[in-house]
Structure 1
Amino acid sequence: MDQFVCDACGYVYDPAVGDPDHGIAPGTPFEALPDDWTCPLCGLGKDIFSKV
């Protein structure tokens, strides 16, 4: 699965890890994240992320 990086702060969303602190289970692809999911570091939306 592809990783995605926040263009604002550099946070990398890794589907293998997910975002368990925000209820996103490991194995969740970026495309399956809820529309209201935001970067855990800077709070910006999915539209700010680019494929690594």
Structure 2
Amino acid sequence: MSQYQCPECGYRYDERHGEPHEGYAPGTTWEELPEDFTCPDCAVRVKADFVPVAET
């Protein structure tokens, strides 16, 4: 599972955890999120702006 980070505020979307408060269950992949997904923390950046986080 992957993580994607908002370049504005640093919020990370982690596919393992999803974003239940936004209606995305754990295991929801990045590709399954709608194209109009916006950062739940800052609401400034959209899905296309997020950057993949290298797995460690």
Same fold (TM over 0.5): yes
The CA deviation string for residues 1-52 of structure 1, in whole angstroms up to 9 with x for no partner, is 1110001110000011101001001000111101222111011210110000
1:4-43 equivalences in 2 (<5 Å): 4-43=4-43
- Runs (4+) of structure 1 exceeding 3 A deviation are none
- RMSD (Å) for aligned C-alpha atoms: 0.8
* Alignment length (residue pairs): 52
Percent of pairs with identical residues: 50
Unaligned stretches of 5+ in structure 1? Answer: none
Unaligned stretches of 5+ in structure 2? Answer: none
Structure of greater Rg: 2
